[in-house]
Amino acid sequence: MSRKTKQNRITSPELLAKVNPDNLRLKKDYLAYCDSIGRSRTTINSYINDLDIYLCWNLLHNKNKFFIDMTKRDFVSYLGWLLNENQNSPARVRRLRSTLCSLSNYIEAILDDEYPDFKPIVKKIEPPVAEPVREKTVLTDEQLQRLLDGLVERGKIQTACSVALAAFGGSRKSELVRYKTDYFTDDNIIYGSLYKTPEKIITKGRGRQGKLLNKFTIASKFKPYLDLWIEERKTLGITSEWLFVTRVSGEWVQAKPSTLNSWAITCTQILGLPFYYHAMRHFFTTALARQNIPDSVIQEIVGWASVDMVRKYDDAEADEKFGKYFDENGVKDVQATELKDL
């Protein structure tokens, strides 16, 4: 059985103020190093959060020990506490362990003159076996349509537009909030079927800015919900360049990924099963695969570095895939779909 996603409030300014000063200095130096080698702001913020969790545990449960002096037993205790007492998912524990591994690598490679005997022993501690945090939500075409219809009926037009953009473009939640309204004009439609962003969007990837990619959206599927949202924006007097917005102190400003978390709650209520935006990335990939779009083309549309990701995100069952190519007469003559036919 999968675990529930658990949100924690482990750290506090009061606890961090009591942390061993040597550990605080080590954290500061490490983050400065990450910045100097071009780690993205998002990655650095994740490191900060992960390290603060460790530092507060170390303060409360490990006598505020200096990181250099940590033993394998200490690391085992920390990972065990995360998994068993704090009830973090195995995936989350693996991530927290990975941050400590990165810090250890920094000490070994950069601070070797100061700590010549240091060994990155945390890497010797095996991470917990990965298991799903939640049941994967796989939506049918009918369920997606029911969700979109339900959002429109409730007057949640912006939410419907965001779900449609995710379902028919495969963008991550962090990418959805980076779209601008002027990306969706007739001049930006290619092959008569796809919106192509006229400028590249920051996506997940290495480097200070992540990876910059043009993004593609199936125009015919997305446009009805875009039109509804553009019309409502006019009614509300929204002039922001950003497609998705939220109101702060009476002003419409660019939405944040966390804004979409609240929209997802409404989607869950309508569907009657867990909704999260990343499921739409699976939906988009699966829909393209069902249309016999070659994996290499899907890879380029979504923006993956490897074609292996297509198979990972294609949720179609094996029997369904076989049925496209075989019938009572043997092997079927299957023609690949062109983009203009989507």
Q: Write down the residue that tokens 């394998």 correspond to.
A: 72
Q: What is the rounded average pLDDT for all residues in the chain?
A: 89
Question: How do 330-331 and 216-218 pair as beta strands?
Answer: unpaired
**Residue 132: predicted pLDDT:** 57
pLDDT reading at 89 higher than 90: no
**Residue 66: predicted pLDDT:** 98
CA–CA gap between residue 77 and residue 62 (Å, rounded): 9
CA–CA gap between residue 277 and residue 293 (Å, rounded): 23
| Confidence bin at 45 (pLDDT 50/70/90) | confident
Contact status, residue 289 vs residue 314, Cβ threshold 8 Å: yes
Run of H or E including 266: helix 257-271
129-153 residues labelled b (16+ CB within 10 A) or e (exposed): eeeebeeebebeeebbeebbebbbe
pLDDT reading at 190 higher than 60: yes
**Residue 43: predicted pLDDT:** 86
Q: What is the mean pLDDT of residues 108-114?
A: 96
CA–CA gap between residue 178 and residue 164 (Å, rounded): 15
**Residue 130: predicted pLDDT:** 72
**Residue 2: predicted pLDDT:** 41
**Residue 1: predicted pLDDT:** 38
Residue 327's beta-bridge partner residues?
330
Percent of the chain with pLDDT strictly greater than 90: 74
Q: What is the mean pLDDT of residues 293-322?
A: 85
pLDDT reading at 133 higher than 80: no
What 3-state class would DSSP assign to 252?
Answer: strand
What 3-state class would DSSP assign to 180?
Answer: strand
pLDDT reading at 4 higher than 90: no
Q: What is the mean pLDDT of residues 170-192?
A: 95
| Confidence bin at 69 (pLDDT 50/70/90) | very high
Of 221, 202, 218, nearest to 210 by C-alpha is 202
CA–CA gap between residue 194 and residue 186 (Å, rounded): 10
**Residue 8: predicted pLDDT:** 53
**Residue 5: predicted pLDDT:** 46
**Residue 330: predicted pLDDT:** 67
pLDDT reading at 328 higher than 80: no
pLDDT reading at 141 higher than 70: yes
Residue 293 phi, psi dihedral angles, 5° rounding: -70, 130
| Confidence bin at 3 (pLDDT 50/70/90) | very low
Q: Per-residue pLDDT tens for 22-39?
A: 999 999 999 999 999 988
**Residue 195: predicted pLDDT:** 97
| Confidence bin at 68 (pLDDT 50/70/90) | very high
Least confident stretch, 51-60, 67-76, 167-176, 316-325: 316-325
**Residue 309: predicted pLDDT:** 93
